[in-house]
Structures are given as structure tokens and as C-alpha cells.
Copies of this chain bind each other. A is one copy, B any other.
Amino acid sequence: MNSANDRPGAAFVAVDWGTSSFRSWLMAADGTVLAESRGPEGMLHCATSGFAPVLRDHLGKLGAAAPLQVLICGMAGAKQGWVEAPYLKTPTRLDALHEGAIQVDTQGDVRILPGVAQALAGEPDVMRGEETQLLGITEADFTGLVCIPGTHSKWVRIENGTVVAFTTYMTGELFSVIAQHSILTHAVETGGAATQDGAPFRDGLATAQAAPRGLTTSLFRLRAAQLLGFEQRADGAARLSGLLIGSEIADAMQRFGAAGQLRLLAAGSLGALYEAALKACGFDVIMIDAEQASRRGLARAAIHLWGAQFAS
């Protein structure tokens, strides 16, 4: 197996290929990271410039020579991505993800993991990339609830290692779109303030909890409160963040049951905000680094795919 890549001990290359980012790692069979290469060449970028050259460049930076074993998760497998890896349908076992991997017709053994779809007319939902993170952070018999905050936040119910239900919230995207393109541009300073767990964030959370169906009025009132001198513009971003995250949690608690233990897959300041918010709502939060989760999920799927060779 070492012959597959030219660094000693290298077993395969793990790639998390998102909408707007590319992250890759040269991995040893035991999960050790030997090298890392990342860039802004996400799906949107590659849709015009092509996927193969981007992968080739990063493999070069990793010092990984062909013939290679490369395992990819994320938007590269979307319909508008490199090669479509059709969704697995819920309920689906996480340790069966690799069975849906699609081989890319290129030099070496390059495969893309599938996303997961909840193909129910009343509750249609999709994920790409998160399923691999879930594989990375759950035991084969795991039962519980996982929250993965972000542009499109996911709440996932897993039973005995099987994804049984999930819900996506447009929390992060709505924050950007509202802060940049609505009347709230006058009320929100984009920058660091959105990521502070202070009084304005907590107030936003409390407002969302108190009136969970009133999001579109709470948004307008954020602006009105500043016009009337009750609030400061400097607090607008944190308050908006509290409103949107609070709204997400209020709905999720109704769908997935009252607070209990929850695995929070996040990092940095966004992770800290969600941790504070979820704890305030009574959740018993276990925080897990999101990027490690992707890498570990790719490693687990790689062992499922190429395990026999790893052992050689």
C-alpha cells in the first residue's frame, strides 16, 4: 500500500470538497495526517474551471504521487459537481456510505462518497458532506442527536448507527443575505460582533424562544429598536445571530424532542455561540471539532473501501 503514494506510510488522500472550499489530507492507514493542502477551489469555482486540475494541483502539494487512492466527500458529488454520487435514502446506515461511492474516470482510484436524502414529500431534505462527518464521530451502535451548524445547519437523529431523520435550517445563509442585502444592512455591522456570546446575542435568543413564529417581525424590530434608541448598531450582528440561531433551536426542539444530550459538530466562534445557546436551552452539549470529523469519516470509509489493501 505504501507504494500507492510516494510519502512513506501514506495510505490514501482524504478530500472534503465543499461549495466554496477544498481541503485535502495525505493520510496514513492509522489515521495519522501526513500532510495537508487547502484552498478556495470549491464546487462553484470548479464548475467553470474543472475539477481534475484542482485535485491534481493539491495532490502535488501533498507530495502524493499517482497511482493514488483518493476518497472525496461533499459537493463534488452533487449533480452540478464533478461526478454525481446519487443520494442514499434515509434510513441509511452510516457505515454503509462507502457502498454508494462513485468512481471517477481518472488516473488512479478516485471515489466520491454519496450524500444522504430524506426523500419524503412532506419533509424533503438533503445533505452532502455532513454524512461523512457523522460517520467520523459516531460509534457503530450510536443513538442520539447531532447538530452541525453552518450555512445550512443540520440536525440529525441517529438510531443504532442509522440516520433516521434530519432537518436543515438556512441559518448561516440567512444571516449573510439579510445582513448584506436587506434594510438590516443599516442595523448590522458585519465583522467580529456576530460571534460574541454577550447580552445582545442572549437577547436575540430569548426573543426567538419567546416568539418562535415571529422571526420576520423580530428581524424588522431589530432595526426599529435602533431607530427608537433602545439598541445600538454595534450590537446588531450579535442580536441577529441570536435571533436566527434561537429560531433554529426552537424549531429543532419541537421536532426532535426536548433538550437532552447532543453532539455539536462545530469549531471556533460559531461553535462557541451554538454551545452557549444550546446549553441555555437545556442541552447537555458534547462539542466535537467539525474538520476532524470529516477527516475521521473519510478515513473510516476508506478502510471500508480499501481495508484489505491497507493491511498489506
Contact = CB atoms under 8 A, between A and B. Distances in A.
Interface of A: 79, 87, 117-119, 121, 123-126, 152, 167-171, 173-174, 177-178, 180-183, 211-217, 219-221, 224-225, 227-228, 230, 244, 247-248, 250-251, 254-255
A125 B216 contact: no
Nearest to A229: B119
A212 B248 CA distance: 12
Nearest to A119: B228
A220 B126 CA distance: 9
A118 to B, nearest CB: 8
Contact of A125 (B174, B215, B221, B247): B221
B230 A121 contact: yes
Contacts of A248: 216
Nearest to A230: B121
Nearest to A227: B126
A113 to B, nearest CB: 17
Given A174-B216, A181-B181, 20 more contacts: A79-B227, A117-B224, A118-B224, A121-B225, A124-B224, A125-B220, A125-B221, A152-B183, A168-B220, A169-B217, A170-B182, A170-B217, A173-B182, A174-B178, A213-B247, A213-B251, A214-B254, A215-B215, A216-B244, A216-B251
A149 to B, nearest CB: 12
22 contacts: A79-B227, A87-B228, A117-B224, A118-B224, A123-B221, A124-B224, A167-B217, A168-B220, A169-B217, A169-B220, A170-B182, A170-B220, A177-B178, A177-B182, A213-B254, A214-B254, A214-B255, A215-B247, A216-B244, A216-B247, A216-B248, A217-B251
A300 to B, nearest CB: 26
Contacts of A123: 221
Contacts of A173: 182-183
Contacts of A244: 216
Contacts of A228: 87, 117, 119, 124, 126
A230 B182 contact: no
Contacts of A224: 117-118, 124-126, 168
A87, A173, A216, A228: residue with the most chain B Cβ atoms closer than 10 Å: A216
A82 to B, nearest CB: 17
Contacts of A230: 121, 124
A291 to B, nearest CB: 23
Contacts of A215: 215-216, 247
Contacts of A117: 224, 227-228
A170 B214 CA distance: 10
Contacts of A181: 177, 180-181
Contacts of A170: 182-183, 216-217, 219-220
Nearest to A169: B216
